[in-house]
Amino acid sequence: MEKKLRGTLLAFVCSASLFTACAKNNEQRQEKLEVSRGTSAGRAEDVAKKTGWYEKSEGDSTWQAQWLDGNLFYESTRVRNKRIHNKFYPKIQDAFLFEDKFYLKASFPLKYGGEIQFDFPEYPDYTLTRIGEQSFQVVINDALDLDRVIFSLDYLPAEEDSLVPTHYRFTHVVFTK
């Protein structure tokens, strides 16, 4: 009996250690993402000033980004002058909770030739309305416990587009707990 108890305790301790290590690794990845998107407090002063196109090359890879008033709206990676990745980030123009609904207006400031499609996997009961060429309004129903909105975005390039098809997620924090 004592042997089984020790084995169970050892398995629990190992599982807890592994869980803690994974959680810490995930936090570090999230911090790196926040720094790259300009939301980390550690570099807030530097990021707040960024506006325009930025490009960084390393070896045969080039990272490109479009910033406006400290907000990242587009990023792309090229390897050997071939684009392998691109992402568009929305500019949140208005977002608020009213009764049990969440309202959000978003636009994509950088012109693109293809089509951006998105949905909200955590809140499937929503209405999406196009309110401009590159602007959308979203109403999420039953949003009383909403603290963040995860956009699941797909970019489908136009025929003559130099961009590539992309699927990615973007999180908009409504409020922190």
What pLDDT is recorded for position 21? 42
What pLDDT is recorded for position 62? 96
Question: Where is 24: in which H helix or E strand?
Answer: helix 2-37
> Could you tell me the pTM of the whole model?
0.65
164, 117 contact by CB (below 8 A): no
Whole-number Å distance between alpha carbons of 109 and 163: 16
What pLDDT is recorded for position 38? 42
What pLDDT is recorded for position 39? 41
Strand ranges (E), 19-114: 52-58, 61-68, 71-79, 82-88, 91-98, 101-107
In which residue ranges of the chain is pLDDT below 50?
4-42
- pLDDT (tens digit, 9 = 90+) per residue, 30-80? 444 444 444 434 455 566 678 899 999 999 999 999 998 888 999 999 999
What pLDDT is recorded for position 144? 85
